Amino acid sequence: MPGAIYAEGLVKTFGDVRALDGVDLDVPEGTVLGLLGPNGAGKTTTVRVLTTLIRPDSGRAVVAGIDVLRHPNEVRRSIGLSGQFAAVDEYLTGRENLQMVGQLYQMKAKAAKARAGELLDRFHLADAADRTARTYSGGMRRRLDLAAALVVSPPVMFMDEPTTGLDPRNRQELWEVIKELVSGGTTLLLTTQYLEEADHLAHDICVVDHGRVIARGTSDQLKDQTGGERVEVVVHEPEMIDGARDVLARYGVAGIGHGEVSVEEHIRKLTVPVTGGAKLLAEVIRDLDAVGVEIDDIGLRRPTLDDVFLSLTGHVADRGEEEDGSAPDGKDGKDRKSRKEAVK
Amino acid sequence: MTIVLGSADGLNAPRPRGGIVQSMNDSLVIARRNLIKMSRIPEVIIFGLIQPIMFVVLFSYVFGGSMQIGTSTSPAVYREFLMAGIFAQTVTFATAGAGAGIADDMHKGLIDRFRSLPMARGAVLTGRTFADLVQTTLTLVVLTVVALLVGWRIHEGVPKALGAYALLLLLGYAFSWIGALIGLSVRTPEAATSGGLIWLFPVTFISNAFVDSSNLPSWLQPIAEWNPFSATVQACRVLFGNPGVSTSDAWPMQHPVWASLLWSILIIVVFRTLSVRKYRSATG
């Protein structure tokens, strides 16, 4: 039986650009799929197809058991969509926004009102409920946008870069909300440029590039596939680099960089792929000590999704422009622009 | 979990959905949203009022003395002649508002939100045009007061005057569908505003609105007389009993009320169809 979100051979071209080039997805009920990829990889286009916003040129998609192409309006009753930028009406209050969405989900006015109140409480927006959304901070807008997507408690949710442009605190807060949501049984498809986010939230990850899924699996599987652990050493003096290199070379296994020791001279750091875990680390320390290499820092490091990404796509993941920025209302302009690019 | 299994779930039962009932409900929800929004940006309404008032004053007192209506060159006669034109021109400016509003919604991602909801397809646009209709009505009320102050009068009784207002609102409603299509077709709200206004100038000036069309160059006369906008202007003059009886034998000038009605309905049918089709495939 196909999962709550199922797609087979989705193709979509915009002019000469093949935005989707045969995307297959299968998300089991109650799980989170992280769709990871650089700008323009086809993440947003995939979401737009699955949420009935655009029709693919070919392929098949089933969401919540309903054929997306044949019964789009039935699908719309069963999904919630939270966009990359907060799609709320800034001249309406938080409460009015949620009430409107509820009514458009065909709830009666009274029920929509009750539900709006509940969601505002749940998302810590009760105090701001009767202020227009334009007075909200970036984080508040995102929460309101997410609340709007949850008005009917849809069994399947789509979130297109839910935390792009948020500061770390707001991102953390949103992650908590998303986790809670998923623990309640919602199936979620999440696109993100933040590897950490996918690592944190997703059960399974699909890496997309150039409109195709180029790798899939759990975060651990992808990391193992890329290569195992490695030892990182920072030596005390630049002159000690050569000595340390000789020692580490003995432990090197074929993995990242084919078992060779890589050196970053300016920070006196050496890295080597290894197998053997913590026990091995003790041996390395002993051996380094024996040849008189003083170390400032040593550690066993697992590959990050960044490494996975790099080895799969040959380039580092594009970060959002506001990576570390606390762009409080990173709304329209910028977000819109990155979204446009994502479509193309 | 609270988010998913909220206590309001018992009330979540969808209200009965029938094609036209749902469509009307959804349109009213959207219209309400647009009216709330307008009330929170009153500048838009205020500037929308200042413009026609300025036109009344400028045309009445700058051009008033040099215009010939029929055989009369009296400024007072021109002022009464002019008002139907100003009324009609004012309602057509709803086009720009509808276009800019819809382009703005596209730009901000609201149209995506709406399109992902199980709502009636045309409701986002219909709701917008309803809201514009309310704004247009308000503008007409204020403009009527100004018109009475400069000496314009209703001479044919209230029922006919109400008929004239109905034709004006219908024309405004029709033009806001043109605006909707413009709003869906351009990339930015700014483009929708200017794109929504530019073509209105030739449409409203190559007409009988501000001058007696028999004074136009002969090659322009048929264009002015068959202009949908002229039909409504002429119908209003007839229904208000204002000066400016047309001597043209063009059909719309002989049967202005019917011509106005038919033109407006035709515009609504054509532009509503095109706009809703465009909305369905809008990619934001």
- B10 half-sphere exposure, CB direction, 13 A CA radius: 1
Helix (H/G/I), strand (E/B), else coil: B6: coil
Greater pLDDT, A342 or B22: B22
| Cβ distance of B116 and A51 shorter than 8 Å | yes
With a cut of 50, say whether residue B111 has pLDDT above it. Answer: yes
In whole angstroms, how far apart are CA A193 and each of A171, A179, A229, A270, A322?
Answer: 13, 18, 24, 28, 12
CA angle B63, B67, B72 (to 5 degrees): 140
| Cβ distance of A343 and B36 shorter than 8 Å | no
> What is the distance between the alpha carbons of residues B231 and B253, in angstroms, rounded to a whole number?
6
Say which of B6, B33, B117 has its CB closest to residue A76: B117
With a cut of 50, say whether residue B21 has pLDDT above it. Answer: yes
Helix (H/G/I), strand (E/B), else coil: A15: coil
Which pLDDT score, from 0 to 100, does residue B4 have? 40
| Cβ distance of A183 and B1 shorter than 8 Å | yes
What residues does each domain of chain A span? 5-78+154-223+334-343, 228-302
> What is the distance between the alpha carbons of residues B84 and B67, in angstroms, rounded to a whole number?
16
Q: If you average pLDDT over residues A321-331, what whole number do you get?
A: 35
Q: If you average pLDDT over residues B41-62, what whole number do you get?
A: 87
Indicate the average pLDDT of chain B: 88
Quick one: pLDDT band at residue B40, thresholds 50, 70, 90?
very high
With a cut of 80, say whether residue B269 has pLDDT above it. Answer: yes
Contacts of B113 in chain A (CB under 8 A): 81, 83, 87, 101, 148
Confirm if B70 and B212 have CB atoms less than 8 A apart.
Answer: yes
Say which of A84, A88, A186 has its CB closest to residue B4: A186
Q: If you average pLDDT over residues A231-251, what whole number do you get?
A: 87
Confirm if A48 and A344 have CB atoms less than 8 A apart.
Answer: no
- Identify the sign of the CA torsion A199, A203, A208, A213: positive
Q: If you average pLDDT over residues A63-73, what whole number do you get?
A: 93
Q: Which of A274-283, B52-61, B65-74, B153-162 has the highest mean pLDDT?
A: B153-162
Residue ranges of B 121-140 with Cβ closer than 8 A to chain A:
123
Quick one: pLDDT band at residue B10, thresholds 50, 70, 90?
very low
Best mutation site among A100, A144, A343 for testing chain B: the one with the most B CBs within 10 Å?
A: A100
| Cβ distance of B13 and A111 shorter than 8 Å | yes
Q: What does the pLDDT look like over A160-217, one tens digit per residue?
A: 988 887 888 888 888 988 888 889 889 999 998 887 888 889 999 999 988 999 889 8
- Identify the sign of the CA torsion A122, A123, A126, A131: negative
Alpha-carbon Rg for chain A, nearest whole angstrom, is: 24
With a cut of 80, say whether residue A332 has pLDDT above it. Answer: no
| Cβ distance of A96 and B36 shorter than 8 Å | yes
Say which of B4, B29, B36 has its CB closest to residue A185: B4
Q: What does the pLDDT look like over A24-67, one tens digit per residue?
A: 999 999 999 999 888 888 999 999 999 999 999 999 999 999 99
With a cut of 50, say whether residue B160 has pLDDT above it. Answer: yes
Residue A293 C-alpha, separation from nearest chain B C-alpha, in angstroms: 55
> Quick one: what percent of chain B has pLDDT higher than 90?
58
Number of residues that this document lists for chain B = 284
| Residue B160 contacts A where some CB pair is shorter than 8 Å | no
For residue A132, what is the nearest residue in chain B, using CA coordinates? B40
> What is the distance between the alpha carbons of residues A25 and A15, in angstroms, rounded to a whole number?
24
With a cut of 90, say whether residue B132 has pLDDT above it. Answer: yes
| Cβ distance of B108 and A185 shorter than 8 Å | no
Of the candidates B28, B34, B22, the one whose C-alpha atom is nearest the C-alpha of residue B179 is: B34
Order across the sheet with A17-27: list the strands.
A17-27, A5-14, A58-63, A66-67
> What is the distance between the alpha carbons of residues A310 and B110, in angstroms, rounded to a whole number?
35
Greater pLDDT, A86 or B64: B64
> What is the distance between the alpha carbons of residues A116 and A110, in angstroms, rounded to a whole number?
10
With a cut of 80, say whether residue B57 has pLDDT above it. Answer: yes
Q: Which CATH superfamily is domain A5-78+154-223+334-343 in?
A: P-loop containing nucleotide triphosphate hydrolases (3.40.50.300)
Order across the sheet with A262-264: list the strands.
A262-264, A269-273, A230-235, A295-301
Q: How far apart are the first and last CA of chain B?
A: 34
- By mean pLDDT, which of A6-15, A218-227, A265-274 is the weakest? A218-227
> What is the distance between the alpha carbons of residues A72 and A74, in angstroms, rounded to a whole number?
5
Contacts of A122 in chain B (CB under 8 A): 2-3, 6
With a cut of 90, say whether residue A263 has pLDDT above it. Answer: no
Q: If you average pLDDT over residues A81-105, what whole number do you get?
A: 90
Quick one: pLDDT band at residue B18, thresholds 50, 70, 90?
low
> What is the distance between the alpha carbons of residues A177 and A123, in angstroms, rounded to a whole number?
8
Which pLDDT score, from 0 to 100, does residue A316 have? 55
- By mean pLDDT, which of B6-15, B137-146, B147-156 is the weakest? B6-15
In whole angstroms, how far apart are CA B159 and each of A25, B141, B144, B237, B239?
Answer: 65, 16, 16, 14, 9
The domain defined by A228-302 carries CATH number 3.30.70.100: yes
**Residue B63: DSSP 8-state:** I
| Cβ distance of B109 and A148 shorter than 8 Å | no
Contacts of B41 in chain A (CB under 8 A): 91
Which pLDDT score, from 0 to 100, does residue B183 have? 93
Residue recorded with tokens 């992902």: B116
> What is the distance between the alpha carbons of residues A332 and B213, in angstroms, rounded to a whole number?
47
Name beta bridge partners: A66: A63
Please give the helix or strand (H or E) that residue A47 lies within, else none.
Answer: helix A43-50
Packing angle, helices A94-104 and A109-122, rounded to 10: 130
Say which of A92, A108, A332 has its CB closest to residue B108: A332
pTM (2 d.p.): 0.80
Q: Which amino acid is at B276?
A: V
With a cut of 80, say whether residue B202 has pLDDT above it. Answer: yes
With a cut of 50, say whether residue B218 has pLDDT above it. Answer: yes
Q: Which amino acid is at B238?
A: V
Contacts of A333 in chain B (CB under 8 A): none
Contacts of B24 in chain A (CB under 8 A): none
Say which of A74, A90, A150 has its CB closest to residue B3: A150
> What is the distance between the alpha carbons of residues B233 and B246, in angstroms, rounded to a whole number?
11
| Cβ distance of B33 and A89 shorter than 8 Å | yes
> What is the distance between the alpha carbons of residues B233 and B172, in angstroms, rounded to a whole number?
12
Model ipTM over 0.90: no
